Structures are given as C-alpha cells and as structure tokens.
C-alpha cells in the first residue's frame, strides 16, 4: 500500500492506506430495519438503505487492500448498568431501550436487533467495538486499537450522519486523526440533517475533516 490522493472537500487529501482504517459505524438492525429502535422513534428507516450498497463496495475494496476495518455497535449491557436514565427516558417512543421488541430487547448487546445487518457483517478478525454512547471513543478501546495499529487516518462511514458519525468524527479530530467521510456511505433519517452535517465537517478548511464520495475513494485506491 502507498500514499494516495483522494479528491474531497474542501481540498484533496493525501493518506497512507497502510495507516488508514475504515470505521463502519452502527450499521445495525435496530437502526436500519422495521421494528428496531429507529423505527420505534417514528423514523423512516428505509432512508438509511441508501448507504448499504456504497458501504459494501467500500468494504470490498478495503479488504482487498488489506486495510484495517473496524465496526461499531451502539447498545448496552443486558443489566443496563451502563445506560444512563436520561438516555433511556428521553423522548416518547412506543418502545424504549431495554424493552422487548420484534428483534429482542431494544439496543441490548446479544439481541438480534443489536447486531450488524447481514449485508455488512464483519469478517473474522475485524474488530467490533460495542459502545454505550454516540461517539465511538467514549468508554471503548477503539483508541487503543488504532494506536497499536499505527493508524493516522480514518475513513468514516455509517449511520446516522448527524449523530454517531458526526460525534465520532469530532472525537477523532480531537485525538489527532484525519477523518475522511464518503457522503454516500453515510445516511440519516433526515436528508436535511445529513447535508448540513457534512457541510459542518469540511467547513473552515476542514475543521473536523474532509468529505468525499465513494467513487473518489475507489478511484484513488
């Protein structure tokens, strides 16, 4: 692997593929499928489907290159001792975190809904980060994995753009990582939030990171 130049906003970004990881955030059944947590909150979960095929293509290319691929899942311990009351009780969904849903207890580790969708399921050896919050660094060993693997840049994908993806990019930026976000490898229940979140990332000379698209990443790789 070598350093490649990827076309992006606000400007092209040079990254060393050997020191770059693909971070696939929260592509879980609870967020993408009917009956999951996203659905109980009143969202149109079909809007997230647009990111699945682009993510598949990116995963295939990254795996072919031998790049580090990391997956995350948001969810809580079965005893919910890591689930803050303020999070569990927020809003008025028909089903809350921890309650029984069509795919098991909502956002609880080990339940069917908590797991990653089959189309993007991790391969053997790809780390899976189980996180209790929105950000992928909070209360996880993600940073230890990245440091041990000499990672300097992240290609960040997943859902939702304005929540877990955006929070993770901000966390990573503060830790010194370059973040590249392929817009079509992310999605939101709100197209407006998706677009605004991406603009926030690359504003002010890439204040949090760079935004690109799948075609530009594949062309460079």
Strands (E), 49-201: 68-74, 100-101, 104-105, 128-131, 153-159, 178-182, 186-187
- Domains delineated in the chain: 3-220 (3.40.50.850)
What per-residue confidence (pLDDT) applies to 45? 97
Cβ neighbours for 200, distance < 8 A, ≥ 6 positions apart: 166, 207, 208
185 is catalytic: no
CB distance 32 to 49 below 8 Å: yes
What per-residue confidence (pLDDT) applies to 198? 98
Cβ neighbours for 153, distance < 8 A, ≥ 6 positions apart: 15, 16, 19, 20, 21, 177, 178, 179, 180
What per-residue confidence (pLDDT) applies to 2? 86
What per-residue confidence (pLDDT) applies to 33? 97
Looking at 55, 164, 179, 185, which residue is catalytic?
164
What per-residue confidence (pLDDT) applies to 91? 72
164 is catalytic: yes
What per-residue confidence (pLDDT) applies to 43? 95
Q: What is the pLDDT along the chain (221 residues), one digit of tens a residue?
A: 789 999 999 999 999 999 999 999 999 999 999 989 999 889 999 999 999 999 999 999 999 999 999 999 999 999 999 999 999 998 777 789 999 999 999 999 999 999 999 999 999 999 999 999 999 999 999 999 999 999 999 999 999 999 999 999 999 999 999 999 999 999 999 999 999 999 999 999 999 999 999 999 999 99
What per-residue confidence (pLDDT) applies to 120? 98
130 is catalytic: no
Looking at 9, 39, 115, 131, which residue is catalytic?
131
- DSSP secondary structure, 56-96, as one string: HHHHHHHHHHT-EEEEEEE-B-TT-TTS-HHHHTSS--SS-
H helix or E strand, kind and range, residue 54: helix 52-65
């Amino acid at each position: 692997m070598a350093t490649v130049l990827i076309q992006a906003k606000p400007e092209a970004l040079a990254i060393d593929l050997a020191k770059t990881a693909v971070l696939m955030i929260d592509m879980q059944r609870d967020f993408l499928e009917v009956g999951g947590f996203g659905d109980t909150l009143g969202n149109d979960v079909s809007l997230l489907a647009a990111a699945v095929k682009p993510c598949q293509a990116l995963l295939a290319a990254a795996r072919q290159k031998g790049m580090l691929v990391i997956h995350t899942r948001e969810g809580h311990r079965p005893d919910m001792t890591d689930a803050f009351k303020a999070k569990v009780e927020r809003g008025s969904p028909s089903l809350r975190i921890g309650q029984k849903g069509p795919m098991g207890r909502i956002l609880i580790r080990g339940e069917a809904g908590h797991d990653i969708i089959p189309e993007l399921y991790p391969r053997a050896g790809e780390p899976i980060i189980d996180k209790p919050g929105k950000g992928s660094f909070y209360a996880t060993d993600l940073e230890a994995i990245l440091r041990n693997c000499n990672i300097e840049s992240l290609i960040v994908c997943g859902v939702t753009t304005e929540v877990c993806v955006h929070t993770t990019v901000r966390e990573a930026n503060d830790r010194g990582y370059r973040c590249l976000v392929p817009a079509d490898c992310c999605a939101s229940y709100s197209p407006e939030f998706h677009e605004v979140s991406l603009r926030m990332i690359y504003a002010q000379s890439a204040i949090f990171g760079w935004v690109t698209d799948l075609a530009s990443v594949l062309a460079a790789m």
